[in-house]
Amino acid sequence: MRVLLISPEAGENYLTSGFADTINQLAQAYKFKGAEVRVYSPYYERALKADHENHLVFETNEIVRNESYKVYKGSLDFHYYIANKAYFDRSGFYDDEERYPYWDNHYRFSLLASGALNHAIKSGFIPDVVHTHEWGGALAGALVRGEYAKYLPKTKVIFTIHNVDYDFHFLAQDIERVGLPPKDFNIEGYEFWGKVSMLKAGILYADYVTVTSIGYRGQLLHGDLPSGIRGFLETHVDKLHGIQHGIDYAYWDLFANRGQNLVEAKVSTKTVLQKKLGLAQDSSFMLYCHIDKETKATIDMLLTILQDVLDLNVQIVFGVSDDYGDRSYLSSLAAQMPEKIALLSTDVNIDNTRKALSASDALFLSHTEEPAASIVLKAMASGVVAITGYNCGCSSILTSFDGTNFKKANALMVEKVWPDYMLRELRKAVELYENSNSQWRQLSLNAYSLRQTWSSTVTNYFNLLKLK
């Protein structure tokens, strides 16, 4: 099977990007499972690592707008990059310095899709599957069905939505300039409040639409998410599937080759992190809270009950990304209580997240937006017990502790993600940790034992393709 992946972020030569890492791991898993794989993403020159290895392999014009572009190949044999200085040599991937979306994003990413398909076809790589990602890759499906249909008559299209809150809208006057058929500009098609929704176009022309967990699919169809696209997904529910994405355990499991049992390893890593962050070096229960632009519900929830949490014997580590806007407030809290609260930057070095999780006892997570499920799985790879809701994306693979099932339970979960409910479960966790330590250790071991690999993810994608 030949699989062609198109994504607005991917490749081995860029600075840290969790999204790019997801696509890279997925591509590797496809290859491991025996597929011939190619991955196409933009050539973002300003984001390249200093030691990148790319070389020019192709230069031509694509067929939608007859625009010129180049194709570079990375050091790995299946990574290709679509280059156009006017489109991709900019300060940001999607937005300018003031975080306003580029007005021509639809032109930029239609070139990505068209350029990728054009190069694959001309170089003899006729894919069985085009697996495209997010709104930045969404126009590929329309091009497979339209401009490139005669070359790809049997090609299936998978469109994966990683976060439904992200979309790009543009004016109807540009419909044909990006390869969309005008006949589908209506509410049942890709129209959204008088403009074109790239996300809706991706859904419309795909054979299969997937999201990154079974629970996230349920949230999109039955929850109260703010994207405004729920009705359209309900219309296409028969082709909407939840496939749990995996993580790279070779990276996220710091304990695999330590020669220590899990309890001993976590005690030693906690001591190291406490010293590094200036926290009290004691046996306090350590709670990790991951904060970025997707996690507003989680940080708001924790701040609501913060005083009650601090009354417990708990230390809080906030893993804060650079795109979080209220870092100064958290910094002031840490300055007031340095032995109990600490901040750790998670953007400069992703290894900080891994080290914080390896030292922590529990993860506090109350938001439903992805990549919530990914954070839970990464935490569990370090024996961290998630305190979260049944609406978490990966809840279908979690077992909540009910007071008796400590041999199977690996999380503490609430039916309603309300402050008092989350606080109740946190208190339960601290009580177990301090007074029923053998049971807490078992919960931690159960969490550590759960494995959701990329190989199993790709197996589910292959099974999906057998449905038709």
Instruction: Outline where 211-350 has alpha helix (H).
Output: 214-222, 230-235, 249-252, 262-277, 296-304, 306-310, 327-336
Place of tokens 């969790």: 18
Lowest mean pLDDT, pick from 27-31, 260-264, 443-447: 260-264
Residue 56: φ, ψ to 5°: -70, 130
pLDDT tens for 181-214 read 999 999 999 999 999 999 999 999 999 999 999 8
Q: If you average pLDDT over residues 392-420, what whole number do you get?
A: 92
Res 131 pLDDT > 90: yes
- Of 105, 81, 82, the residue nearest 92 (C-alpha): 105
> Which two three-digit tokens encode residue 342?
């600490």
The share of the chain scoring above pLDDT 70, in percent, equals 96
Lowest mean pLDDT, pick from 45-54, 102-111, 156-165, 177-186: 45-54
Confidence bin at 373 (pLDDT 50/70/90) = confident
| pLDDT given for residue 16 in this prediction | 58
Res 379 pLDDT > 60: yes
| pLDDT given for residue 142 in this prediction | 98
The mean pLDDT value of the chain amounts to 93
Question: Could you tell me the domains of the chain?
Answer: 2-246+454-465 (3.40.50.2000), 250-449 (3.40.50.2000)
pLDDT tens for 267-301 read 999 999 999 999 999 999 999 999 877 777 899 99
pLDDT tens for 71-108 read 999 888 899 999 999 999 999 999 999 989 999 999 99
Confidence bin at 172 (pLDDT 50/70/90) = very high
> Which two three-digit tokens encode residue 109?
């990413």
Res 394 pLDDT > 70: yes
Contacts of 99 by beta carbon, 8 Å cutoff, 6+ apart: 92
Sign of CA dihedral 173, 179, 180, 182: positive
pTM flag (> 0.85)? yes
Contacts of 132 by beta carbon, 8 Å cutoff, 6+ apart: 5, 6, 7, 113, 138, 140, 141, 157, 158, 159, 160, 202, 206
